[in-house]
Amino acid sequence: MVSQRLTPKHLKYLTSRSLTLHFNVDDSAHTDPLESIFPKRTLVLICGYARAGKDTLGDGILEWSEKNAEKINFADSLKDSANVFLDCLDLQGDFHDDRFKDTNRRFLVACGTFARDLKPSVFAEIMAQTVAQGYDDDGMPLDTVVCTDWRYLNELIVCQKLLIPLGWKVRTVYISTSGISAANPEEANSICEIRDIVRFDQEYHFDTEQRQLIMHEGRMLAKQWSL
């Protein structure tokens, strides 16, 4: 008897079928087709004010992750869409570049607000679907995904609803840094809502200028959670 090797194409098919069949299935009764092949997969959502150290903590996690890991953010699809806008007008720029993004942040914020006004869960749904069907450049499924821009409660709800039935763990982290407050009233309100309702799996508070310590804690978290 000849055993058939599962190719990336086969794995992608299994994942897409899992997404179709198990969207509303109770997690306790769920059997993920990939669980017998790959370890349980984990999405880490990191919440906190802008400049609190979310990206640095995420970098530490990814640096010491022993599994197939990648960063995927809710704003990725917003930046992609903004770049399409630039292309349509034959304008130069890339919203995935931090310097260009910071210089033109008002446009990005306006686009995000407009999209969420039409559909509040739009970016959460796109991100969760991307994670659910996430593959690296070699076509292998991702075991660990780190998201460093979690700012709205519905983002957590959408990710839990879609990913937990597919065999994902959704872990939550909050980070704060002395002297860093909300960038605007919307950020203050949205993160306050999250803090009022969510019981985080891990919380950190750092003093200013502690990048190396934040990186260290990210590395330790990757080890602690077997990411």
Residue located via tokens 């210089």: 103
Task: Give alpha helix (H) positions in the chain.
Answer: 8-21, 54-64, 76-88, 98-103, 105-118, 122-132, 153-163, 185-197, 211-224
Query: Which residues have C-beta within 8 Å of that of residue 122, sequence separation ≥ 6?
Result: 115, 116
pTM, 2 dp: 0.81
Which domains, from first to last, does the chain contain? 25-224 (3.40.50.300)
Supply φ then ψ for residue 145, to 5 degrees: -125, 130
Q: What is the pLDDT along the chain (227 residues), one digit of tens a residue?
A: 333 344 444 444 344 334 333 333 344 444 445 444 555 799 999 999 999 999 999 999 999 999 999 999 999 999 999 999 999 999 999 999 999 999 999 999 999 999 999 999 999 999 999 999 878 778 888 999 999 999 999 999 999 999 999 999 999 999 999 999 998 899 999 999 999 999 999 999 999 999 999 999 999 999 999 99
**Quick one: pLDDT at residue 12?**
40
Strands 69-71 and 41-47: unpaired
**Quick one: pLDDT at residue 51?**
92
**Quick one: pLDDT at residue 183?**
87
